[in-house]
Amino acid sequence: MFIGVPKEIKTDEYRVGLTPATVEELTTRGHRVVVETVAGAGAGIADQEYIAAGAEIATSADQIFQRAELIVKVKEPLASEREQLRRGQIIFTYLHLAPDPEQTHDLMASGVTALAYETVTDAAGKLPLLAPMSRVAGRMAPQVAAHFLQRPQGGRGILLGGIDGLPPASILVLGGGVVGSNAAEMAIGMGAKVSIAARTPETLRQLSQRFGDGVTTVTSDAEAIEALCSSADVVIGAALVAGAAAPKLIPARTVAAMKPGSVIVDVSIDQGGCAETSRPTTHSQPTFLIGGVVHYCVPNMPGAVPRTSAYALDNATRPFVLALADKGFPRALIDNPHLRNGLNVHDGKVTCRAVADALRLPFTAAIDVLH
């Protein structure tokens, strides 16, 4: 199979779809891998490393989009990339389609086969390709919050961990999954006072077992969230519904009642954000103020630490990339129901129910397009 790895063009995105280790495994199996020049530079991977692994280097993305059978990326294809996609081609990347009707319609119109990292599952029903980036984003969230609590950044001027005789910052984490639990772990380590709101008793029990007296756990209902947000110095939005738009847990009226200089780190922004006031930002211009509340809403948070993120993502995606290369489409998806759950769009049809429901589009079961 001809596998292409274009350079990411999303603003401030420095990750790369494949590392040399996976390229070498692909080429030793007889596959052809073409990597756009300097695609790995942001993650500290030189073209020469890809060449040593058996890859060819393309001078432009056009050479990849025009010829590759399988395109492996990190972030969703932007409009200029979507124009080059074609029927019979496979793209494997993060898509986050539920809050993005424009991208969804473009993918449908192209006829491309679009597989989303964030909806691939495992035997436990979890999301193994989302998890490594969720861990990175969760661990980044408290350090981001600490920075933007500083007065020159628009914050309240509070030291996250406090100091003798003075209280630490109060952090509310919305969601007890991979992002939320990692955010809580880091925030506790930094000395903050941490509360976690989660939906299910089982999640709350697991969080209590993991953190003990280090956190306060509460049921994630509207009244509790409103009260906790009003007293928090930092709110970390970590709510996720697989494949679907993030639930709006923080209404605009709740933001209006928050302390001036408090900080919202909306990690859920990839799926539309869990605050009504959130909108996507970039690493270059990461924040905006609404009612004196600092909003940090960067969709590609892990892109700021691309060396760690690219290798962590590659470790997770490798078996699925190898299966697609070795077996092709549709056999790889027929053989593996977990990879099949990653199929979001094929030949103009939406094959992920959560995306179809969010965008009010007709749904076609993935299994029905594979035969």
> For 251-305, where are the alpha helices, taking DSSP H only?
252-256
What's the rounded Cα separation, in Å, for the pair 2 and 325?
Answer: 8
Residue 219 DSSP SS3: strand
* Residue 230 Cα distances to 48, 146, 225, angstroms: 53, 18, 9
Judge whether 96 counts as a catalytic residue.
Answer: yes
Residue 349 DSSP SS3: strand
Q: Which helix (H) or strand (E) holds 218?
A: strand 215-219
298 is in an annotated binding site: yes
Q: Pick the catalytic residue: 270, 295, 314, 346? A: 270
300 is in an annotated binding site: yes
> For the chain, where are the alpha helices, taking DSSP H only?
20-28, 47-52, 61-67, 79-82, 101-110, 131-148, 178-189, 201-211, 222-231, 252-256, 306-327, 331-335, 337-340, 353-359
What's the rounded Cα separation, in Å, for the pair 138 and 54?
Answer: 35
Which of 251, 307, 306, 317 has its CA nearest to residue 283? Answer: 306
Tell me the two tokens of residue 52.
Answer: 């040593």
Q: Pick the catalytic residue: 96, 295, 338, 346? A: 96
15 is in an annotated binding site: yes
What's the rounded Cα separation, in Å, for the pair 347 and 320?
Answer: 21
100 is in an annotated binding site: no
262 is in an annotated binding site: no
140 is in an annotated binding site: no
Q: Helices 131-148 & 178-189, crossing angle to 10 degrees?
A: 40
Dmax over CA atoms of the chain, in Å, equals: 68
Question: Which residue type does 333 have?
Answer: L
Q: What phi, psi does 57 have (nearest 5°)?
A: -110, 125
Tell me the two tokens of residue 138.
Answer: 């969760």
134 is in an annotated binding site: yes
Q: What phi, psi does 168 have (nearest 5°)?
A: -75, 175
205 is in an annotated binding site: no
Is residue 132 within 8 Å of residue 315, measured between CB atoms? yes
Annotated binding site for substrate: 15, 75
- Residues carrying an active site annotation: 96, 270
Annotated binding site: 15, 75, 134, 220, 267-270, 279, 298-301
Annotated binding site for NAD(+): 134, 220, 267-270, 279, 298-301
